[in-house]
Amino acid sequence: MQLDSAPPIDYQAMIDTAASALLESAAAYLKPEDVQLLRQAFDVSREAHEGQTRKSGEPYITHPLAVAQMLVDWRMDAQGVAAALLHDVLEDTGVSKPTLTEHFGKTIADLVDGLSKLERLEYQTKEDAQAENFRKMVLAMARDVRVIIVKLADRLHNMRTLDSMREDKRKRIALETLEIYAPIANRIGLNTVYRELQDLAFKHLYPTRYTVLAKAVRAARGNRREIVNKILEAVSQRLAENKIEAVIKGREKNLYSIYKKMQEKNLSFSEVLDIYGFRVVVNDIPSCYLSLGALHSLYKPLPGKFKDYIAIPKGNGYQSLHTTLFGPYGTPVEMQIRTREMNAVAEAGIASHWMYKSGDGSLDTAHQRTHQWLQSILDIQAESDDAIEFFEHIKIDLFPDEVYVFTPKGKILVLPQGSTPVDFAYAVHTDVGHRCIAARVNHALVPLRTVLRNGDSVEVITSTQAKPNPSWLNFVASGRARSCIRSYLKSLQTTEASLLGERLLKQALSALVMTPLAGVDALQDEYMALYGDNLGSFREVLAELGVGKLLPIAVARRLVELAGRKSGESVRVSPIAIRGNESGTIQLATCCSPIPGDEIVGAIAKGQGLIIHRSLCANIRRFDQDKLLEVTWDTQRDRMFAVTVSVMARNERGTLADIASAISGAAANIESVDTQDGSAGEGYIHIHFRLQVSDLVHLDRVLAAVAQLSSVISAKRG
């Protein structure tokens, strides 16, 4: 019997249906001219992505349509939805930003540009590319918060459809989502998106754990239904007795939060009792506190488990009363009590600004808090000139745990958990941080590294003569404080480092050429064009020399070669002589462990100085030719060099002792030994020694001494 194959999917009909549904949903709250704008954006996007498909095989246009539909569900304005429809056209098609500006105006073009990666630029590492793209997106987000809302919808749809990707790519995207995009969603109050991103990332990072935990939660759902219903009934009855109008909902905690609790507290699933929480939504703020009293009279509260986020909202504008109660059978019951407006902010955060146009103060607070955070991002950006450094500072501030402290005038400041008076000082103002010399917490003098707690009153003592201390970087917790301190120290050190670098360069030039090199200043621009490595000026090159990030002899050699080309003379510069005991700017590669006697080559690695490899080392191929320098061993050496030796021998009693004795007899030191039974076959053993030898001749003597042993099959350099 032959089975009929499934009919082909009519993608065009599917796209037309999705587009019609999108425009129909948008028409429910947008003006007719706005709906026409969305129709135009869809047409441009559809044409631009014509012929492109997703990994799943679907036409690419299905993705921007799905992202736009999410935004329409959130009641985003027409410009935001249009940007969602067009968000990939700059990156993946031939459409340019001027073309978008011409058709849709500058605002939409800027939104789309803020959502586009910097694909066309070249970076040394994936980390550099990720950091630069993140910086571009965050700065666009600071100018217009709609950028991040569109980006989160984009990421959410990508995570929902991640199954068609390769496993390694799935894990990379899931990790990035968990570390960056989920915390951003939490930071701007998009709680529903935050939880779903966490669960989807968990599913792809740890599929087995996710499946087992999901199954356990489904089973527990049935087992605990009786308890949940009993609690809902008791709470409803008690609130009604107190004449409080409320909507009570039981909610299941998301899988990732259950998993994190199991990890952090080392619990099995059966020990995690509070997988259910309850939400009480009332009409006004007085009813929140009345409900709290009613619930505390129903079930006893757990000491220390009450938090008032109504009086002191979270940094993202979230407001609610939190309390944990002893429920039936000793089950801990987590309760959240809030108004309808607070509930809107808790679910949608900054997106509630578009979803609910009631003019309620809670919604305005969410919007205001988000803009304060975005302004702090701009401040950090102003202090950080390095994209990776900026990326790290922002990641610090994305962690959700916060501490609430008071200024002497009673103003509340929200700081990351673990913050100190120095973090507080920089949160007040950069100059206050720079001039900070002492602090009082709750009117008592404390060390600057004191960790602040909720409710502390903090007063900073300043001096006009003070300046930031580098040791503060060891204990500050906020990205803002860290970036301000680093920026100040850099500006202070750059001048001194440049002067030192200039002296070191002159010494290196005089060591290379007998007569002073004329016209070095005129060669600086040419040097920067060829070897600048993204540094802004030759002064920065001098500063890098001064702090030891660049090797003076390497820069000097480049300048001498450039001078020779300019004069038309053939300049032969002697190789750099390596003694092996130089400062941290010259290192011996651990991958190939070069020793005197080996043919060697120097590779300039950004931020690491000159790395010496054996000429045959495979890792040399990773470097461009202009990063390689001719080096040789100095005849004057007074140290030993590390090298790995691999020995295969019969697995007999005393074999290891005999080999060690032979190595010692050849005047070599043993740093470490690693044995691998059975890896060489039954009855044999592989032993890896890390030795200290003086040069290649010495190594040959050691290998010969070991090879002479009757139990040894082979001895060679590892």
DSSP letters, 635-673, are: S---S-EEEEEEEEEE--TTHHHHHHHHHHHTT-EEEEE
For the chain, residues with pLDDT lower than 70 are 1-7, 117-132, 134-136, 141-142, 221-224, 270-275, 315-316, 348-401, 492-493, 511-521, 533-534, 547-549, 567-574, 581-585, 606-609, 626, 676-681
Residue with tokens 């050699």: 557
The strand pairing partners of 259, in sequence order, are none
In this prediction, residue 356 carries a pLDDT of: 43
Which of 198, 459, 479, 457 lies closest to 315 in space, CA to CA? 479
Spatial strand order in the sheet of 458-462: 444-446, 436-441, 458-462
380, 483 Cβ separation under 8 angstroms: yes
In this prediction, residue 360 carries a pLDDT of: 47
Which of 71, 113, 106 lies closest to 91 in space, CA to CA? 113
193, 209 Cβ separation under 8 angstroms: no
In this prediction, residue 119 carries a pLDDT of: 43
613, 601 Cβ separation under 8 angstroms: yes
- The one-letter code for the residue type at 63 is H
Which of 579, 629, 584 lies closest to 604 in space, CA to CA? 629
d(CA 323, CA 304) in angstroms, rounded, equals 9
d(CA 403, CA 416) in angstroms, rounded, equals 6
Q: How many Cβ atoms are within 10 Å of 205's Cβ, its own excluded?
A: 18
In this prediction, residue 575 carries a pLDDT of: 73
Residue 710, exposed/middle/buried by CB under 10 A (0-12, 13-18, 19+)? exposed
Q: Tens digits of per-residue pLDDT, 554-586?
A: 788 778 778 777 766 655 566 777 877 655 567
Distance of CA 541 to the CA centre of its chain: 28
553, 509 Cβ separation under 8 angstroms: no
> What token pair was written down for 399?
């962690």
Residue with tokens 């220390």: 304
In a 13 Å sphere around the CA of 268, the CA atoms on its Cβ side amount to: 1
In this prediction, residue 143 carries a pLDDT of: 73
In this prediction, residue 459 carries a pLDDT of: 93
In this prediction, residue 75 carries a pLDDT of: 84
Output the CA–CA distances (angstroms, integers) from residue 301 to 79, 297, 333, in the order listed.
48, 9, 9
Catalytic residues: 91-92
689, 644 Cβ separation under 8 angstroms: yes
In this prediction, residue 700 carries a pLDDT of: 93
DSSP 59: B
86, 110 Cβ separation under 8 angstroms: no
> What token pair was written down for 658?
């005999």
176, 169 Cβ separation under 8 angstroms: no
Distance of CA 140 to the CA centre of its chain: 18
